[in-house]
Amino acid sequence: MKVSLAHDHLFQLGGAERVVLEFHQIFPEAPLYTLISALQPGNSFDQLNIKTSFLQKMPGAKKHLQYYLSLMPHAWEQLNFSDYNIVLSSTSALAKGLITPPNCLHICYCHTPTRYLWSDAYNYIEELNQPRIIKKVLPLVLHKLRMWDLFAAQRVDYFITNSYYIKKRIRKYYNKPAHVIYPPVNVEQYRVSPNIKDYYIIVSRLRPYKKVDLAIRAFNELGLPLIIIGGGEEYAKLKKLAKPNVKLLGEVSEERKIQLLSQAKAFIHPQIEDFGIAAVEAMAAGRPVIAYNEGGATETVIDGQTGILYNEQSWECLVHTILKFDHTQFNSEAIRNHANKFNATRFREEIEEYISKVWQDHNNQTII
């Protein structure tokens, strides 16, 4: 059985890339196809056999891949998967549109239907930091791309996804079933600290949909210490919004992040996430999570046991929730034990079991 891996593109080491690395652990000989790789040497992907599309050599693509948006479907369709029995793809964009031969099985781990085409289509254009003329033309490009994306999703033989929340989206936008396997979290590297300090914490990319501004407004009002770890396009805006009790640290080392998570009173999670790996990492450190009651958090946070879920995505509701919160009412070891259910070994076992099953079903259908 010859296997290939596929992933949208390689620019950072986030949750989706962790999934790909776990795929590599299962299939160490499988090459990884991707549109473009801009990773610097000295990372976990150095050991992989990476094959890129023609976009890798296009001028400026490593810094501004979005300018080649209209070429991405063609780039995926030009990659040749004719030598493989199984293609295992990881996507939140367009990798689902790769073309496989008739007897090849395409299994797609879909982190979410393409946000800028479906669930965030309108906000994406409004929040885009581009000239007005581009914002006028872009909806026409996205309309054509949306039709391609819907058509491309029908090429996938089996969808896997990261939560029941995203399973519903796949059904809504692609009219396809999906099997839920929660993503891997490196829970073993986190530890429970006996020394809880007087601050709350957020670990997040600073993008509009993360709603970090709501948390800052809440803590501005409360006057309580809040530490924010992470960088992104909203850093300057959020830094200006924050009062002295709110500290934006930017990117920090993994060791520093682990330490800060383990000593916080609670982890703040104001956004809607597909799954929410950072919240599970906080629980792996034994810390309760204060999360908005929608999206992946409803599947990872047990209200009243591993955190608190609040029902209105507003800074006012977050303030009210924090005022009622008492971190001493939570059992750190019980929280950590819950987080252990999302470990990487469990993920690999479930992926292997699922692929074995659908591969057997596929072969039986072929014989019939």
Query: Kindly report the CA angle at 149 between 357 and 352, in degrees rounded to 5?
Result: 20
| Cβ–Cβ < 8 Å for 294, 272 | yes
Q: Is 173 found in the same domain as 45?
A: yes
Backbone angles phi, psi at 7, to 5 degrees: -150, 150
Q: Is 30 found in the same domain as 9?
A: yes
What single letter denotes the amino acid at residue 66?
A: Q
The range of the structural domain enclosing residue 236 comes to 187-342
Cβ neighbours of 114 (radius 10 Å) = 25
Q: Is 122 found in the same domain as 225?
A: no
Which pLDDT value is given to residue 124? 77
Which pLDDT value is given to residue 366? 55
Q: Is 338 found in the same domain as 204?
A: yes
Which pLDDT value is given to residue 367? 45
Q: Is 227 found in the same domain as 192?
A: yes
Which residue in this structure is represented by tokens 């520093």? 256
Residues of the chain with pLDDT under 70: 365-368
Q: Is 232 found in the same domain as 122?
A: no
- Counting other chains too, the contacts that 291-300 makes at CB distance below 8 Å and 24 or more residues apart are 292/211, 294/165, 295/163, 295/165, 295/271, 296/162, 296/163, 296/165, 296/166, 297/269, 297/273, 298/165, 299/163, 299/164, 299/165, 299/182, 299/275, 300/182, 300/275, 300/276, 300/342
For residue 139, what are the CA distances in angstroms to 66, 239, 285? 14, 31, 43
**Structure token pair of residue 109:** 């781990």
Which of 19, 4, 2, 9 minimizes the C-alpha distance to 347? 19
**6 strand-pairing partners:** 33, 89
Which residue in this structure is represented by tokens 């259910």? 341
Give the integer Cα–Cα distance in Å for 199 and 8. Answer: 37
Which pLDDT value is given to residue 368? 39
Q: Is 274 found in the same domain as 194?
A: yes
Backbone angles phi, psi at 285, to 5 degrees: -90, 5
Q: Is 153 found in the same domain as 78?
A: yes
| pTM as predicted | 0.93
Instruction: State the total domains in the chain.
Output: 2
Residue ranges of E strands in the chain: 3-7, 32-34, 50-52, 86-91, 105-110, 158-161, 178-180, 200-203, 226-229, 246-250, 267-269, 289-292, 307-310
Q: Is 104 found in the same domain as 23?
A: yes
Q: Is 271 found in the same domain as 316?
A: yes
Gap between the terminal Cα atoms of the chain: 20
Q: What is the CATH number of the domain that holds 208?
A: 3.40.50.2000
Q: Is 170 found in the same domain as 257?
A: no
Which of 166, 114, 208 minimizes the C-alpha distance to 295? 166
Which residue in this structure is represented by tokens 């099985």? 105
Give the integer Cα–Cα distance in Å for 73 and 93. Answer: 10
Q: What is the CATH number of the domain that holds 99?
A: 3.40.50
- Strand ranges of the sheet holding 246-250, from the earlier edge strand across to the other edge: 246-250, 226-229, 200-203, 267-269, 289-292, 307-310
Q: Is 307 found in the same domain as 296?
A: yes
